[in-house]
A and B are shown apart, each in its own frame.
Chain A
Amino acid sequence: MPDDLVDAMVKMREAEAMELAQKMLDAGEDPLQVLERCREALEIVGKQFEAGKYFLPELILSGEMLKRISKIAKPYMRKESDKKTEAKGTVIIGSVKGDIHDIGKDIVVFLLDINGFEVHDLGVDVPAEKFVEAISQIQPAVVGMSALLTTALESMKNTIDAIKNAGLRDRVKIMVGGGAVDEKVRKYADADAYGPDAVAAVNLSKQWVEEKSY
């Protein structure tokens, strides 16, 4: 039955997945094991997305299934079984000031999350000060900035300038992405890398976190 849950989630059979998860929980299965199956399913969905076989509908729907299953699993959870797994690394991310678009950023958050990163999502229209504050408090290895609007490119540059002025630039790697961004923008804003899609954001983060741990 556990593999059936993975299969139902991966094949986007939502009703069946919900029913299976409920049955497993009712049968006394460890809720963490149920959620572990969900994580497995999402990992496969993420891989399919990376391979260009799955797209936004599958990514969003599988995330939604996980959310729903977490919710029904919660009452079954015992405190002591609620142990945290070690995160691969920490990333803070946000859409820069002047831009309230979130879908691209949310996909990056989703993929980082299922790849084991601890992600702090600062949201949208994030002022430079908030990035600076979050960097000094959370001390992430990686900072991600998103912009869909060309008018927000200036604010991307300003944000990185503010990080420089706060003396924090050398402590983080900065990746930029979003509809308005490309390599030229990366250079202009002085980020470390540009990622054309969410998969690139995961690969960059992995690479940087590994580099940092040596």
Chain B
Amino acid sequence: MKERFFEVASDADEKQEQQFDTWLSGKGIPFVNTDAEEAYKDRVMLIKDAIQLKKQPSRIAICPSAGHFPVQYGGISMYDAMYDYDALSQAWKKYCDDFTPDAYNAPTTVVPGSVLDILVFKLCRWPGHGVSEKNGYQYVEKAYMKADEYQDLIDDPTGFFMNTYFPRIFGALKPLQKMPLLPPVNEIPCIPPALFPFGDKEIQAAFSNLAKAGQETVRWRDALRRLNGSIMGMGYPAFSGGFTKAPFDVIGDTLRGTREVMMDMYRHPDELLEACERITPFMIKSGVASCKAAGHIMPFIPLHKGADGFMSDEQFQTFYWPTLRKVIIGLINEGIVPQLLAEGGYNQRLDVISDIPKGKVVWWFDLTDMARAKKTVGRVACIAGNVPLSLLCTATPEDVKAYCKDLIDVAGKDGGFIFSTGAGMQGAKPENVKVMIEFSKDYGIYQ
């Protein structure tokens, strides 16, 4: 088989420039006036310069991760945010208007609750469904894929998701376990047997629920589009658009679960590695496609199981990094800039993750030592981060200011830095968010 996603393609630079041009153009954004359009372009340039490491930006872009902070700040519950798209939009707009971060996060993680209701989603508990109305949704970890199903996943990832995984995580899609496997439908006698399932009442009901859920999702998307237009129209780009994950996390987070995937490194190492390889092209393609749909250059890639303390360096280099690196290279080759959020600490990983082409990704850190990150990863990539959530939730504005000053001094030196938080800001004190953004915008100007 042909080895792919090892080397940077010769036209990767050109493709990245094209992607930046599209993002920078702001095409389709309803700008309120030319000043807003100018401001939008200036802000995109701050981010572009920080990423490419070719020149120092005029100042540091201030791009905290909103998380679900705007919901709480807007005085609505998480239930309201997930079920009432106008309430969600108003809360989000208020956050952007009041705090004016250089780039905002669209509320794509505040998913429509009624869609989860229609599909009887089982992978999470959400407000009003297992957690209180004011709380956010939380994952229910379980082995949704059994150990002896690795081979099924490897043989046919699409079929496995459709016929086995979806019926388990969506109650309303249970009938899909009767769906035919599609590749054998290649000659005329194969057509009728492939169609029998579609005549089945239960399968028809599942598709009708999918249609209902689809309609509702379109309503949500339209509300978000109006919201995004109104924020971008004032001159603020989105910090990310699109989404993908490290292959190991795909297997570990929501297929096998943490406990099982950790043991699989000993019990089923070959299958685990092969499964990670097998879904790598899917993760690249979905990263590219979701970026394209969002009109953005940076897919958000939250990293979970590779953090310090989860696994040894050897395990990281064997099981986690090789396929994540392939996803990174695959995205770069399409001109996309992977935005990798290393949740937890990555102090042990800094040298290994520096093995990437220069000026092509954003490494965003949470609890990692930013001075060390700057000296290692910072030589080849834009680094971002890392105001701690505990600080924003519990400290005084003076403490926040002191942290931001240190952070900018250490990580912001000579460019290549985007100012952000270590994680989504839910639970933060508004006065701390305010001082963080205002102080850093001013202090982050390069002389």
Interface size on B, residues (CB 8 A): 33
Give the residue among A56, A99, A103 with the most B Cβ atoms within 10 A.
A56
Is B394 among interface residues, defined by CB-CB distance under 8 A? Answer: yes
Q: Are B259 and A103 in contact (CB under 8 A)?
A: yes
Q: Does B263 contact A (CB under 8 A)?
A: yes
A 173-187 contacts with B by CB, 8 A: 179-182, 184-185, 187
Within 8 Å by CB of A98, from B131, B262, B315, B388, lies B131
30 contacts between A and B (CB under 8 A): A12-B266, A14-B266, A55-B309, A55-B310, A56-B258, A56-B309, A56-B311, A57-B262, A57-B266, A57-B311, A57-B315, A60-B263, A100-B138, A149-B138, A149-B426, A150-B390, A150-B427, A151-B136, A151-B427, A153-B427, A154-B427, A179-B344, A180-B390, A180-B427, A181-B390, A184-B390, A184-B391, A184-B394, A185-B393, A188-B393
Asked whether B135 is an interface residue with its Cβ less than 8 Å from the other chain, the reply is yes
Alpha-carbon distance A50/B391, docked complex (angstroms)? 28
By size class, the interface of chain A is 20 to 34
Of the residues A64, A101, A197, contact of B138 by C-beta under 8 Å: A101
User: In the complex, which residue of chain B has the Cβ closest to the Cβ of A124?
Assistant: B138
Given the known inter-chain contacts A149-B136, A179-B344, please indicate yes or no for A55 contacting B266, CB distance below 8 A: no
Q: Mark B105-132, 1 if CB is under 8 A from A, else 0.
A: 0000000000000000000010000011
Select which of B258, B262, B428 is within 8 A of A150 by beta carbon: B428
Contacts of A12 in B (CB 8 A): 266
Tell me how far the C-beta of A95 lies from the nearest C-beta in chain B, rounded to whole angstroms: 11
Say whether B140 contacts A57, CB under 8 Å.
no
| Given A153-B390, A188-B393, 15 new contacts (CB under 8 A) | A53-B312, A56-B262, A56-B310, A56-B311, A57-B262, A60-B263, A61-B266, A99-B138, A103-B259, A149-B136, A150-B393, A150-B425, A151-B135, A153-B427, A197-B309
Structural contact, B140 and A182, CB atoms closer than 8 A = no
In chain A, residues 86-100, which have Cβ atoms closer than 8 Å to a Cβ of chain B? Answer: 98-100
Q: In the complex, what's the smallest C-beta–C-beta distance from A51 to chain B, in angstroms?
A: 12
The distance from the CB of B144 to the nearest CB of chain A, in whole angstroms, is 16
Q: Are B312 and A61 in contact (CB under 8 A)?
A: no
Contacts of A188 in B (CB 8 A): 393-394
Give per-residue flags for B336-350: 1 if the beta carbon is below 8 A from chain A beta carbons, else 0: 000000001000000
Indicate which residue in A150, A181, A197 contacts B426 across the interface (CB closer than 8 Å): A150
Contacts of A150 in B (CB 8 A): 389-390, 393, 423, 425-428
- Set of chain B residues within 8 Å of A179, measured between Cβ atoms: 344
Interface membership of B9, Cβ < 8 A? no
Instruction: Indicate whether A184 sits within 8 Å of B262 (C-beta atoms), given known contacts A150-B427, A179-B344, A197-B309.
Output: no
A185-B390 in contact (CB<8A)? yes
What residues of chain B have their CB less than 8 Å away from a CB belonging to chain A?
A: 125, 131-132, 135-136, 138, 140-141, 258-259, 262-263, 265-267, 309-312, 315, 344, 388-391, 393-395, 423, 425-428
* Residues of A close to B390: CB separation below 8 A: 150, 153, 180-182, 184-185
Count of inter-chain pairs, beta carbons less than 8 A: 83
The reply to whether A55 and B131 form a contact with Cβ atoms under 8 Å apart is: no
Q: Are B427 and A55 in contact (CB under 8 A)?
A: no
Cβ contacts under 8 Å, A61 to chain B: 262-263, 266-267
Annotate A2-37 by CB proximity to B: 1 below 8 A, 0 otherwise. 000000000010100000000000000000000000
Q: Which residues of A contact B262 (CB under 8 A)?
A: 56-57, 60-61
Q: Closest A-chain residue to B68, C-beta based?
A: A151
Write the chain A residue with the least CB distance to B391. Answer: A184
9 A-B pairs closest in CB distance: A150-B427, A188-B394, A57-B262, A182-B390, A184-B394, A56-B262, A57-B265, A150-B389, A61-B263
A189 to B158, CA, bound (A): 47
Residues in chain A near residue B394, CB distance under 8 A: 153, 184-185, 187-188
B140 touches A151 (CB 8 A): no
Chain B neighbourhood of A54, CB < 8 A: 312
Q: How far is the CB of B371 from chain A (nearest CB, A)?
A: 18
Q: How far is the CA of A181 from the CA of B309 in the complex (A)?
A: 16
- CA gap between A168 and B312 in the complex, in Å: 41
* Assembled-state Cα–Cα distance A179/B426 (Å): 14
- CA gap between A14 and B394 in the complex, in Å: 45
- Of A98, A100, A188, most buried by chain B (CB within 10 Å of CB) is A100
- A151 and B426 contact, CB distance less than 8 A: yes
Q: Are B309 and A98 in contact (CB under 8 A)?
A: no
Cα of A102 to Cα of B257 in the assembled complex, Å: 12
Chain A residue nearest to B389 (CB atoms) is A150
Q: B427: nearest residue on chain A (CB-CB)?
A: A150
Q: Mark A77-89, 1 if CB is under 8 A from B, else 0.
A: 0000000000000
Q: Cα distance A101–B135 when bound, in Å?
A: 14
- B136 surroundings in chain A (CB, below 8 A): 149, 151
| Neighbouring B residues of A60 by C-beta, 8 Å | 259, 262-263
Most chain A CB within 10 A, of B125, B135, B141, B395, is at B135
- Of A55, A101, A149, A180, chain B has the most CB atoms within 10 Å of the CB of A55
Chain A residues positioned under 8 Å from B266 (CB to CB): 12, 14, 57, 61
Q: Is the CB of A180 within 8 A of B140?
A: no
